[in-house]
């Protein structure tokens, strides 16, 4: 970018010191509740226009969908990074895409929103065809990347003003003022972005995403490396936007972000493993868990890993979470150990983290010659 002053649409010069920022870059037996209320998208009709999903019950209203896709596929070279994905996202939902690094989460989100062209599949986002009307989708999307990508040598206000110019917004000053107030940035508006802490940079990035009032917000690991209070404040803001009808897609492999989502899709190495309401995921898998504490946990952990019918043993600090889809066998193992006074066993509801570890253990990495994941 040249150091010469640049003129915006309002005739004001853009800051000359700005440097160009880096460019942002399942197999479950039960179906999700979303899929219970609407059929999968049909193949294109004779006119070549994809049919939208309809209500599966004659008297049931079809859900209001922000996004639906069918058979979504993306290849890079000879590697298939997203493989035939079907999905529906309700309008106004906070939908989390959970999976390990390199599993295709961000690629999936970018295809669903018209930011990346798929090799196969069809669908709509915000009522626009993802293949034919990608530009119309982009105009209504706010994208917050994992890496802070605004200008560090501009102030908070200058960054927001610059982004408002890029969006060619009317009433630019009023829009910037409102963003500063809503995100709690007004008192810091003269501070250089490069001097902000991680939490304040996050707020600034979110404010920039929201200037043009998008209907769809993409968040790529939005609270990674942020302190707990900043994380809580951030998610309070996301909840507020969701209540206003903004659809939010979150790509993450952090449990503390995943639990904030209304719905979860588990994606591993290009495959959709399972999707549904967050609280329902463990039940959809059929996973049962017991919590174990007491002395000599390391020896007990080693023993349980070799016990028939025990599918997962995960260490959480000073306790073990022992899980299986065979509830009767798991209970028998727990009762046998309690009878011998080996550990203190308490039955608990399986949660997202146990479900995540369970799903990842059986997933095959398509970039590592068939090597399966290993539970942490």
Average pLDDT on 11-19 reads: 44
Q: Give the chain's mean pLDDT.
A: 82
Residue 13, pLDDT > 90, answer: no
Distance from C-alpha of 264 to C-alpha of 277, rounded to nearest angstrom: 6
Phi and psi at residue 272, in whole multiples of 5°?
Answer: -80, 115
Query: Around Cβ 141, how many Cβ atoms within 10 Å?
Result: 21
Average pLDDT on 29-42 reads: 39
Q: For residue range 254-288, what is the model confidence (pLDDT) as tens digits?
A: 787 888 899 999 988 888 889 999 989 999 999 99
Task: List the alpha helices (DSSP H) in the chain.
Answer: 33-37, 105-112, 134-138, 156-166, 172-182, 198-210, 228-243, 255-258, 281-285, 297-305, 327-339, 352-361
Average pLDDT on 11-16 reads: 44
196, 190 Cβ separation under 8 angstroms: no
Cα-Cα-Cα-Cα torsion 182, 183, 189, 191, nearest 10 degrees, comes to 170
Res 227: pLDDT: 79
Please report which confidence band the pLDDT of residue 362 belongs to, taking 50, 70 and 90 as the band edges.
low
Q: Which domains does the chain have, with CATH numbers?
A: 288-349 (3.30.70)
């Amino acid at each position: 970018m040249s150091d010469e002053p640049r003129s915006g649409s309002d005739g004001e010069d853009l800051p000359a010191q700005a440097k160009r920022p880096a460019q942002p870059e399942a197999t479950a037996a039960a179906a999700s509740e979303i899929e219970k209320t609407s059929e999968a998208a049909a193949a294109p009709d004779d006119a070549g226009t994809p049919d939208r999903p309809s209500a599966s019950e004659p008297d049931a209203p079809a859900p209001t969908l922000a996004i639906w896709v069918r058979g979504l596929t993306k290849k890079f070279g000879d590697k298939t990074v997203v493989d035939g994905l079907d999905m529906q996202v309700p309008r106004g939902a906070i939908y989390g895409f959970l999976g390990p690094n390199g599993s295709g989460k961000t690629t999936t989100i970018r295809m669903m929103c018209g930011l990346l062209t798929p090799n196969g599949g069809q669908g709509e986002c915000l009522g626009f065809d993802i293949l034919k009307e990608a530009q119309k989708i982009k105009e209504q999307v706010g994208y917050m990347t994992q890496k802070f990508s605004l200008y560090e040598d501009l102030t908070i206000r200058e960054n927001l003003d610059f982004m408002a110019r890029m969006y060619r917004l009317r009433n630019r000053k009023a829009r910037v003022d409102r963003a500063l107030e809503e995100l709690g940035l007004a008192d810091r508006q003269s501070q250089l972005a490069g001097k902000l802490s991680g939490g304040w940079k996050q707020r600034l990035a979110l404010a920039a995403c929201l200037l043009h009032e998008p209907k769809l917000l993409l968040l790529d690991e939005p609270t990674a490396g942020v302190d707990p209070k900043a994380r809580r404040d951030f998610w309070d803001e996301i909840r507020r936007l969701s209540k206003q009808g903004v659809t939010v897609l979150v790509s993450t492999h952090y449990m503390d972000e995943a639990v904030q989502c209304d719905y979860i899709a588990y994606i591993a190495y290009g495959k959709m493993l399972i999707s549904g309401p967050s609280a329902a995921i463990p039940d959809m898998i059929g996973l049962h868990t017991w919590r174990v504490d007491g002395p000599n946990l390391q020896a007990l952990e080693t023993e349980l890993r070799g016990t028939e019918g025990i599918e997962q043993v995960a260490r959480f600090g000073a306790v073990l979470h022992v899980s299986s889809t065979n509830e009767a066998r798991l209970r028998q193992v727990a009762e046998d150990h309690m009878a011998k006074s080996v550990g203190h066993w308490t039955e608990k509801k399986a949660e997202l983290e146990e479900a995540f570890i369970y799903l990842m253990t059986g997933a095959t990495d398509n970039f590592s010659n068939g090597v399966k994941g290993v539970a942490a």
